[in-house]
Amino acid sequence: MRIKANGITFKCEIEGPADAPWLVFSNSLATNLSMWDPQVAELKRSFRLLRYDQRGHGGTDAPAGRYSFATLVADALALFDALHIERAHFCGLSMGGATALGLTELHPGRVDRVVVCDSPAMSTPATARQWEERIAVAQKGGLEPLVESTMARWFPPETLAANPPHLEKVRQMIRTTPVNGFIGCAAALADHDYNSAVSAVTRPVLFVAGSKDGVTPAAMKDMSVRLKGSRYVELEGAGHISNLDRPAEFTRAVGEFLGA
């Protein structure tokens, strides 16, 4: 399905019973909506699922230039409006996690329960420099030079050594990401902060992190402490793409939270 929203055309997939509550999935940088396949297989029985390729990713248009998270949040809201979704649960990972938290802070009346995964939801001077370095690499040589370094950041060494099938799927998603989309969204990741206002969020939030995702678990645990009433789940042994490293545990945590 292709949907025009916020000035571009998005690739989307909708599954599940028409009368079930909406649940929206938002992808990470350098992936596409297929990253959610394990969750959809289980959750489409209970929810009306919307998956979409974020701006510049998968089958969605990839305009040139630097994007902002204000634009990425506006994209999600425009999709809600185009599909006449009054209110939905929203689950995002990494870039999608920051999109989820931004949507919740800016438009709390449009979301119900929110799942923020593997995202500290803010940039720092150090991470901003790293994103600018990756942007420079992509501008010069495309995404191929970034594939293995990204895999090394996203997955623990023992997972890379075991080489489960989902790793090749992720490699393909990275290398086929449009260069414009990577540059645009990397620029957004280099300059955002939804972390500092997290204590003011009024919707129920579940924070999920892979235990092997660098400093991210500590940052997300801290957000959970500051947001009274929120929940935090850490998936043992999972890296950055925790929903693929520990799909059953991830799906169970999300399903239990949304069904609570």
Structural domains of the chain, ranges and CATH numbers in brackets: 2-259 (3.40.50.1820)
- Region of 118 on the Ramachandran plot (φ > 0 left; ψ -120 to 50 alpha; else beta): left
Nearest partner of 250 among 176, 186, 174, 166, judged by Cα: 166
For the record, the structure tokens of 43 come out as 């959750």
| Per-residue pLDDT at 260 | 55
Residue closest to 28 by CA, chosen among 210, 201, 198: 210
Cα(98)–Cα(193) distance, integer angstroms: 8
Q: 199, 15, 226, 207: which is closest to 100 by C-alpha?
A: 207
**Cα atoms in the Cβ-side hemisphere of radius 13 Å centred on 147:** 16
Predicted local confidence at residue 78, as pLDDT: 98
Cβ atoms of 71 and 55 within 8 Å: the answer is yes
* b/e code 126-147 from CB counts within 10 Å (16+ = b): eeeeebeebbeebeeeebeebb
**Cα–Cα distance list, 244 to 61, 160, 212, 258 (Å):** 25, 13, 13, 19
Determine contact, residues 10/79, Cβ cutoff 8 Å.
Answer: yes
**For residue 260, how far is the Cα from the chain centroid?**
22
Instruction: Provide the pLDDT for residue 69.
Output: 98
Determine the pLDDT at residue 62.
98
pLDDT tens string, the chain, 260 residues long: the values are 999 999 999 999 999 999 999 999 999 999 999 999 999 999 999 999 999 999 999 999 999 999 999 999 999 999 999 999 999 999 999 999 999 999 999 999 999 999 999 999 999 999 999 999 999 999 999 999 999 999 999 999 999 999 999 999 999 999 999 999 999 999 999 999 999 999 999 999 999 999 999 999 999 999 999 999 999 999 999 999 999 999 999 999 999 999 95
Residue with tokens 């690739």: 11
